[in-house]
Structure 1
Amino acid sequence: MGDGTDWLLDADPAIRWQVLRDLMDVPAAEVVAERARVAEAGWGKRLLGLQADGLWAGGACFPSSAWRPPGPAVGDSNGQPWTATLPTLRLLRDFGIDPSYPAVRAAVGGVRQHCTWEYAGEPFFDGEVEPCINGGTVAIGAYFGENVENIVVRLLGEQLDDGGWNCEAERGSTRSSFHSTMCVLEGLLEYERAGGTMPVGDARRRGEEYLLARSLFRRASTGQIVDPDWLQFSFPAQWHYDILRGLEYFRSADTRDPRLAEAVEVVRDKQQPDGTWLLENTHQGLIHFEMEEGDGKPSRWNTLRALRVLRWYDAEQPRPPGHERR
């Protein structure tokens, strides 16, 4: 497969434009042109077309049990409805869809006007109660140019003493969660990049330190792996944590630290002989449509994400003996 770029380019525009930008360094005009196609063709256009009355799947995050997807259900109907508004907007952000594209602006405007949270009926961009949900909402809102200041205020006030966040804090937990912390960090980084008015850098660095002190996947108390599932790479990650998602955050933030080294080598060692990475540990639930061939098969998304993490890391870090690029 060589360096894998031909295989990656034989894909939807959502993948193609990120390959051009992150792995090939083509001229900016070519990247912009391919990115525009995300909303005009393929998966991005398809997702936009599934919105109805400002919502996807009839709800913000937990649609009514009476709701059913049009046509044959895809995925596990007993799992999380990944077809709802929050995970759909999260996926459009993963696609890198252009927030200024007219159809995208119209879709986001529909969410602002019509979508409310199932928990208490608050407007979507005012947030909910759980940090993992609110972190995702901040990332979405900041990316699409919406006002999420109130959610940011809430998240800053909910940071725990150990530096992270936990959705169980309202029920008494004083220890942070990798899942919740990752969601919030992604949100604060997107907010910072969008020019948010509140200083969030210190809170973000404290959250980063929570993960770094644990090498992204080990217990602080014993050094043991917290959850073997975190060494498997899913896409979309949804609200779930794994070390590839963690490394993608640090790459995006351009935060270099020697404590990333072990997690990077886990990623490197999972490359297959043909140069790809597999799809693993898919999080069960209803989805709009399949984007890959299933767990255990080569994954364009995971291959793209792993290659750009390694490219970023190796640009400044010497590779250890026995880990030369394949």
Structure 2
Amino acid sequence: MGNWKSYLKADPTEWLLEEDNPSVRYFTLLDILDKPEDNPEVVDAKKKIMHTGVIPKILAKQEPGGYWGSPLNFYLRGKYKGTSWQLIILAELGADFKDERIKRACEFILENSQDPESGAFSYISSKEVSGKKSGNKVSSKCGGDHERVLPCLTANMTWSLIRLGYLDDERVQKAIKWLIKYQRFDDEPGKAPDEWPYKRWKRCWGERTCHSIIIKTLKALAEIPLKSRTPEMEDYIAKGAEHMLNHHIHKRTQPPVKGSFKWLEFGFPLMWKVDALEVLGLLTKLGYKDERMNEALEFMISKQKPEGQWILENTFNGRFLTNIERKGKPSKWITLNALRVLKRYYF
């Protein structure tokens, strides 16, 4: 049994347990202190998540129909303030999926963003598209537009819905199958497939595999209990993990593009972006301990401050409905995620 805390300059656990961030307190009790779900402290922290901090501020701005912002353009219009983005944040922060407001948000996304034909998620409702063509918007529910599905959005919505209690829903199972069916793991330049769904999103699918799609899909599959994983899911996990290990987590072959990820600057919540800490978190959650992770691990440890804290380096603050921590300041979320990695890898 390794002493994973020996890699800390100081132990920040008490700081993470402070009452000001009930989500971090809740996950620290579970993941760092190994408290059971029925422990009174855990129960209390979980209850407070819905009443203190970020989540009640987001839910206060929810429309009666379960959405935020535009009801039919919930991804691009008012980016990071629409419904799809709120679902990611609510799932990250541990929102109670039994709450009716959370259920309404989940059902809204399933009814308006999911393409009923394929199971993938679109950034826009098909009614919005048909309304623009006819010059008359119609607000009835009819699913996401088939031609505008996005792989990273599909992965993020699938993960969010799993976290929010929808794993066994047949609509979510259909989305999981879509992700597995269409994912590529090619690493050499070549002619990208030209059929649906690849043809519309060359930047997403491109000539080489997009790491974001792999990572966000791994994130969704890692949320599924072992007993519920199919052989196809396990095969994807093995291929996806090996792909990222071959790149030593943060080393990529594709040339940088505008807005490309800052892999070595840690952020929360990452939304569609990725960083090395997120990949380390996923691989260790899936049980991987591989020497190809060492360089990224050493870099993660080196970013620790004397107080045993990590800094928020990347953020979408100013674009969210409400800010989440402060850029350039010690981050409870980044610190919690770093401690999770250390404990899983060195324990």
Indicate the TM-score class for this superposition, using the shorter chain for normalisation: 0.7 to 0.9
Deviation at 1:286, TM superposition (A): 1.5
- 2:21 pairs with 12, 31, 36, which one? 12
Aligned to 1:97: 95
Which one is further off, 29-38 or 274-283?
29-38
One-letter code of the match for 1:13?
A: P
The count of residues paired between Structure 1 and Structure 2 equals 294
CA distance in 1, matches of 2:157, 2:307: 37
Aligned pairs (5 A) from 1:70-85 = 81-85=79-83
Contact kept, 8 Å, 2:10 with 2:306, in 1: the verdict is: no
Structure 1 runs (4+) deviating above 6 angstroms are 163-168
* Distance in 2 between residues matched to 1:13 and 1:283, nearest whole Å: 21
Q: Find the counterpart in structure 2 of residue 303 from structure 1.
A: 335
The DSSP-based 3-state class of the residue aligned with 1:35 is helix
Residue type at the aligned position of 2:340: R
TM (norm. structure 2) is 0.74
Structure 2 match to 1:71: none
Q: State the shift of 1:41 in Å.
A: 2.9
Q: 1:136 is paired with a residue of what secondary structure?
A: helix
Q: Is 2:320 the partner of 1:287?
A: yes
Which 10-residue stretch deviates more, 30-39 or 107-116? 107-116
Match of 1:72 in 2: none
CA RMSD of aligned residues (A): 3.3
Q: For the residues of structure 2 that align with 1:57 and 1:307, how far apart are their CA atoms?
A: 36
Counterpart secondary structure, 2:28: helix
2:177 maps to a residue whose letter is: V
**Paired AA for residue 34 in structure 2:** D
Do the aligned partners of 2:263 and 2:274 also contact (CA within 8 Å) in 1?
Answer: yes
Task: Label 1:25 to 1:190 Cα distance change in 2 as closer, same or farther (>3 A).
Answer: closer
Query: For residues 324 and 253 of structure 2, what CA distance do their matches in structure 1 show?
Result: 36
2:265 corresponds in structure 1 to 232
Shift of 1:158: 1.4
Q: Please state if 1:158 is matched with 2:190.
A: no
Write the letter of the residue equivalent to 2:174: N
SS at match of 1:311: helix
C-alpha displacement of 1:247: 1.0
TM-superposed deviation, 1:2: 4.7
How far 1:152 sits from its partner (Å)?
2.2
3-state SS in 1 of match to 2:232: coil
Query: For residue 24 of structure 1, what is the aligned residue in structure 2?
Result: 33
Structure 2 runs not aligned, ≥5 long: 1-8, 115-121, 127-141
**Which moves more between the two structures, 154-163 or 193-202?**
193-202
Q: State the alpha-carbon separation in 2 of the partners of residues 4 and 185 from structure 1.
A: 28
In structure 2, the CA distance between the partners of 1:57 and 1:197, relative to structure 1 (3 Å rule), is farther
- Give the AA of the match of 1:158: Y
Q: Which residue of 2 aligns with 1:255?
A: 288
Identity across matched positions, percent: 27
Rounded Cα–Cα distance in structure 1 between residues aligned with 2:233 and 2:36:
33
* 1:33 and 2:44 are equivalent in the alignment: yes
Larger CA deviation: 167-176 vs 50-59: 167-176
Q: What does 1:1-326 align with in structure 2 at a 5 Å threshold?
A: 2-10=10-18, 11-28=20-37, 29=39, 30-52=41-63, 53-58=65-70, 59-63=73-77, 81-113=79-111, 117-119=122-124, 121=126, 123=143, 129-144=149-164, 145=166, 146=169, 147-162=171-186, 169-170=198-199, 171=202, 173-191=206-224, 195=228, 199-219=232-252, 229-283=262-316, 286-294=319-327, 296-315=328-347
The one-letter code matched in structure 2 to 1:57 is G
Q: 1:101 to 1:255 in 2, by over 3 A?
A: farther
Equivalent residue, structure 1, for 2:117: none
TM-score calculated relative to the size of structure 1: 0.79
Deviations along 1:221-247, whole A, 9 cap, x unmatched?
A: 99xxxx782111011111111100111
Asked whether the equivalents of residues 14 and 35 of structure 1 are also in contact (C-alpha less than 8 Å), the reply is yes
Q: What is the deviation of 1:3?
A: 1.4
SS in 1 for 2:244: helix
SS at match of 2:223: helix
Deviations 1:194-239 (A, max 9, x none): 93668311012111111011110113699xxxx7821110111111
Aligned residue in 2 for 1:321: none
The 3-state SS of whatever aligns with 2:268 is: coil
Q: CA deviation at 1:8?
A: 1.7
Deviation at 1:37, TM superposition (A): 1.9
Tell me, in whole angstroms, the C-alpha distance in 1 between the residues paired with 2:52 and 2:235.
40
1:155 Cα offset (Å): 1.7
Give the secondary structure class of the aligned counterpart of 2:235: helix
